[in-house]
Structure 1
């Protein structure tokens, strides 16, 4: 009995310690404490097939907590479905060329797929077709998921949104990611080239109850958006934050585009006018809704680069006469009293939230252009960032013939016990490279051994970015 009690207490202490950990050390925002596959099995992707043993889809189809690593790199052609949560997809482990999904990445609609961490993955779906028509054609479709950390994602080629979280998805962080080239093809009628949307649908009828998905609790941090008409992002439910993002060659930067409620921090962003359309950095549009929770805003240090019209930092737009003369930015009952004067809304009251430091908007390009997105940058990412840097390019369906251009797949490191951790790393960290069950050993950091390895690998990739003329 004493032995059983001791085991129970040990497990309880382990679980309590794990509950205090971030998804990884650099995780921020409302999904900072997602645990993903922590404590579960390690599954290794050994081929680039769309399905079958050893594929990414095979690993995702397993139930229970799991951390997915890659022994291959390159292109997976076909849609990728996440049927179960409690999963970490560690794209940073793909040797050499990273992982590109030429398909849609999606969870099951109307199910609460919960607790997902995805890092260093590219998602570049093909053109719309009968299975994925233009009005449903999202690169990432997590409409009803919750507790999702997306870090260093490269997503493009949506003909609706690039990322859809419309159906009440909540506790979301999108950080250090790159959303580029949503499809714009007038000849085919694919002109809904937009960024990211989050909403709580029951607000539209004012009939929300405790069983409805909440939406909101969403952080958009340190990302680059290029060539999206608007919805960069479209968030209608707070608490929500949009901090330190660059938006290039779009019209509306921050919008609601649905009935709105809650608190919004919009801080330190850069909005850059481009060749395809005139710029409107903010458009506060609650669509004449009457939600029970009021809508309120904190805006600070947002840099607008719109030559000949407005080139300056704007804080509260209602107090900036030059900005008010340049833009129409609110409608439908929004007024100056909704704009907070005393400081940002404090989201740290939520135990699952970790604050993101604010950085001056004038230095965003130096900070972001080399470091956002999945490493290594592929031809789509490089083209997008080059056009942002030179203030060129246009809305279009940009599809390079060779997505592997300048990418080289390499052999994975030796992993004798096939536990996802290389032999030399295990030896250097006091583990046994012939013991295939030590991946869940708790390290001094509190993370399990496999997490320590994949977290360190992602950090090292960031530190090893090589710049030429400001790009990788």
Structure 2
């Protein structure tokens, strides 16, 4: 529109060498002489900024030129070309350098500790700060000194607030006060955060604060179809916060991969009747989604699809947790979590990865019965059972960053591993806590170490904290590093440290106690433990196996699901209409016992999303957690 406007432009180079200063011309006339672009910054607030006025007459297009100066002086990039970099434009805002910036908590952070201290980077010339805080973005944006959202004028760039409710959204704004007499106030941006809460009472590790579908819709799985209304696929692929409950039990034959791409999802497999749910033919995994909770599912693809498949995964996921799931009969690895952040894989059972089964990347006859390739920053893997998998028990897949340096921080503790073949735990990551794991050789086991770090110093450091691990019949927890393979030309104390790199946030047990704890509670054991998992757990306890691979004849390592009898019967049972007549995820009997309305209008989830006791869990979560609560 005609009149005066402002423009802020952002300039940061990702080249190796600095770029020259530049001028900004409007219609050929110098308007602003800028400094040098910033170099390889990772925060917008650290980028070089130019701020200037534009006058629009509405009679001709505005022509703005960015012109690099000579690039041969004071260390700037020497080149025949004069480079200018422009990363972003902001119209009709205040000067970014006069505003409060770099908020903590970060704008949009949904996993903030209760009662956080708000802080920010103040403008260099600010003499004070006006602080606003509330639960409505529009209200905070429009608030004035007379509004209840105004917390006052503060001198420090920090303030502790009373935000505690995990089901609320919090918004705040900092206006910077300038001038000798505080005569100028620069309105700040509105920032948002939410308070974290455990995904469920027994959630541990770095994925424990996954929000899942809390506060959203309830989607019911009412049939065993691959797709369409009432299917698991339709619920998983939906958008928005959602909790998936099951009104049906049985075997779901997937006709393609089932991928979680949208955040805020809870899959509550414990709600299924009968023997629960088992997925076959294809797999289930998260790709790039955040705040996902998956509990009490079985994924047993088998070799039906003719495709090289894994079982479950959290690739590039953030704040996700998988709990009490069972994975078996995969052609690739059973589980993968490369490039993930803030994840937990707990109390889950990986078994019988198919060994010589025609993996597409290997010669015919090659063994590939692999359990898991795990990455994460930070990834927690605890109280899991890995049984009858030839290798990658675990494979540490920390990966490399864009500079080719090792990444990944992994916490691996209190896991039980049984009857591998030629590989136990190997690979590498930047930092690994490897604590109190229990390894039990089986009839196919050929190697007897617990950890083989595959270090390559050309890719940067790769360090470990190792303590309390056991190899049954070989060495106990008192021999601290006994089961660690020493790389060539290195000593163990070159890379094994005396203290953990980061806390685990896991209730940790001695390895022999974890062995019993895991066998007592692992895998998809709700609504019931199936025959497959019961057999595997009995074999682990007794040190035996029942079957051999049809190709290799290796004990306990199947080459096809048919080697162990294939899928057992999972009866198709459905809940009656009276089970949950208003379809809000809360059974009628539970609602009547707890004083809520079993006949809410359609799509009314008010009861399900209420939190009358203020404990941070909605009533729906209270119900889901009551199903999984252990006696005593």
Same fold by TM (over 0.5)?
Answer: yes
Confirm whether residue 94 of structure 1 aligns to residue 272 of structure 2. yes
Which residue of structure 1 lines up, in the alignment, with residue 471 of structure 2? 304
Q: Is the partner of 1:452 in helix, strand or coil? A: helix
Return the alpha-carbon distance in structure 2 between the equivalents of residues 190 and 124 of structure 1.
21
* 1:321-378 CA-partner distances (Å, limit 9, x unpaired): xx6xxx745347563132122x333337xxxxxx111112112332121310002221
Asked if the contact 1:262–1:295 (Cα under 8 Å) also holds between the matched residues in 2, the reply is yes
What is the 5 A alignment of 1:140-159? 140-159=312-331
Confirm whether residue 380 of structure 1 aligns to residue 532 of structure 2. yes
Which residue of structure 1 lines up, in the alignment, with residue 334 of structure 2? 162
Return the alpha-carbon distance in structure 2 between the equivalents of residues 140 and 426 of structure 1.
34
What is the 5 A alignment of 1:220-231? 220-231=381-392
Q: 1:37 aligns with which of 210, 213, 217?
A: 213
Q: Is the partner of 1:42 in helix, strand or coil? A: strand
What is the 5 A alignment of 1:98-113? 98-107=276-285, 112-113=288-289
Return the alpha-carbon distance in structure 2 between the equivalents of residues 254 and 159 of structure 1.
19
Asked if the contact 1:159–1:190 (Cα under 8 Å) also holds between the matched residues in 2, the reply is no
CA drift of 1:221 comes to 0.6
Change (3 A) 1:155 1:4: closer
What is the 5 A alignment of 1:147-226? 147-166=319-338, 168-185=339-356, 189=365, 191-199=367-375, 215-226=376-387
| Two-structure CA RMSD over aligned residues (Å) | 3.0
CA drift of 1:228 comes to 1.3
Confirm whether residue 114 of structure 1 aligns to residue 290 of structure 2. yes
Which residue of structure 1 lines up, in the alignment, with residue 227 of structure 2? 51
Change (3 A) 1:113 1:41: same
Q: 1:451 aligns with which of 599, 607, 621?
A: 621
Which residue of structure 2 lines up, in the alignment, with residue 203 of structure 1? none
Change (3 A) 1:378 1:144: same
* 1:371-410 CA-partner distances (Å, limit 9, x unpaired): 1000222122122112112211221134455634486846
Asked if the contact 1:283–1:329 (Cα under 8 Å) also holds between the matched residues in 2, the reply is no
Change (3 A) 1:233 1:216: farther
CA drift of 1:285 comes to 3.1
Asked if the contact 2:439–2:450 (Cα under 8 Å) also holds between the matched residues in 1, the reply is no
Which residue of structure 1 lines up, in the alignment, with residue 105 of structure 2? none
Return the alpha-carbon distance in structure 2 between the equivalents of residues 118 and 4 of structure 1.
31
Which residue of structure 2 lines up, in the alignment, with residue 313 of structure 1? 477
Which residue of structure 1 lines up, in the alignment, with residue 411 of structure 2? 241
Change (3 A) 1:92 1:290: same
CA drift of 1:443 comes to 3.7
Q: Is the partner of 1:194 in helix, strand or coil? A: coil
Change (3 A) 1:49 1:329: farther
Confirm whether residue 370 of structure 1 aligns to residue 524 of structure 2. no
Q: Which 10-residue stretch deviates more, 74-83 or 112-121?
A: 74-83
Q: 2:262 aligns with which of 69, 84, 95?
A: 84
Q: 1:344 aligns with which of 479, 483, 500?
A: 500
Asked if the contact 2:368–2:391 (Cα under 8 Å) also holds between the matched residues in 1, the reply is no
Q: Is the partner of 1:197 in helix, strand or coil? A: strand
Which residue of structure 1 lines up, in the alignment, with residue 454 of structure 2? 286
Return the alpha-carbon distance in structure 2 between the equivalents of residues 3 and 401 of structure 1.
57
Which residue of structure 1 lines up, in the alignment, with residue 583 of structure 2? 418
Change (3 A) 1:334 1:83: farther
Calculate the TM-score normalised by the size of structure 2.
Answer: 0.61
CA drift of 1:261 comes to 3.9
Asked if the contact 2:223–2:248 (Cα under 8 Å) also holds between the matched residues in 1, the reply is yes
Asked if the contact 1:378–1:407 (Cα under 8 Å) also holds between the matched residues in 2, the reply is no
Return the alpha-carbon distance in structure 1 between the equivalents of residues 248 and 163 of structure 2.
35
Which residue of structure 2 lines up, in the alignment, with residue 395 of structure 1? 557
What is the 5 A alignment of 1:421-432? 421-432=586-597
CA drift of 1:6 comes to 11
Return the alpha-carbon distance in structure 1 between the equivalents of residues 272 and 351 of structure 2.
22
Return the alpha-carbon distance in structure 2 between the equivalents of residues 43 and 11 of structure 1.
30
Q: Is the partner of 1:159 in helix, strand or coil? A: coil
Q: Which 10-residue stretch deviates more, 149-158 or 433-442?
A: 433-442
Change (3 A) 1:402 1:99: same
CA drift of 1:140 comes to 1.5
Q: 2:508 aligns with which of 337, 358, 362?
A: 358
Which residue of structure 2 lines up, in the alignment, with residue 205 of structure 1? none
* 1:403-447 CA-partner distances (Å, limit 9, x unpaired): 344868464671121111101211222311112422111242211
Asked if the contact 1:304–1:314 (Cα under 8 Å) also holds between the matched residues in 2, the reply is no
Return the alpha-carbon distance in structure 1 between the equivalents of residues 561 and 443 of structure 2.
16
Larger radius of gyration: 2
Q: Is the partner of 1:172 in helix, strand or coil? A: strand
Q: Higher relative contact order by CA 8 Å / sep ≥ 6: 1 or 2? A: 1
Q: Which 10-residue stretch deviates more, 36-45 or 409-418?
A: 409-418
Q: Which 10-residue stretch deviates more, 85-94 or 408-417?
A: 408-417
Q: Which runs of 5+ in 1 are unaligned?
A: 200-214, 349-354, 465-472
* 1:141-200 CA-partner distances (Å, limit 9, x unpaired): 43333322000010011122101223x12222110110000002378636211111134x
Return the alpha-carbon distance in structure 2 between the equivalents of residues 191 and 44 of structure 1.
40
Change (3 A) 1:407 1:391: farther
Which residue of structure 1 lines up, in the alignment, with residue 3 of structure 2? none
Change (3 A) 1:190 1:410: farther
Asked if the contact 1:107–1:145 (Cα under 8 Å) also holds between the matched residues in 2, the reply is no
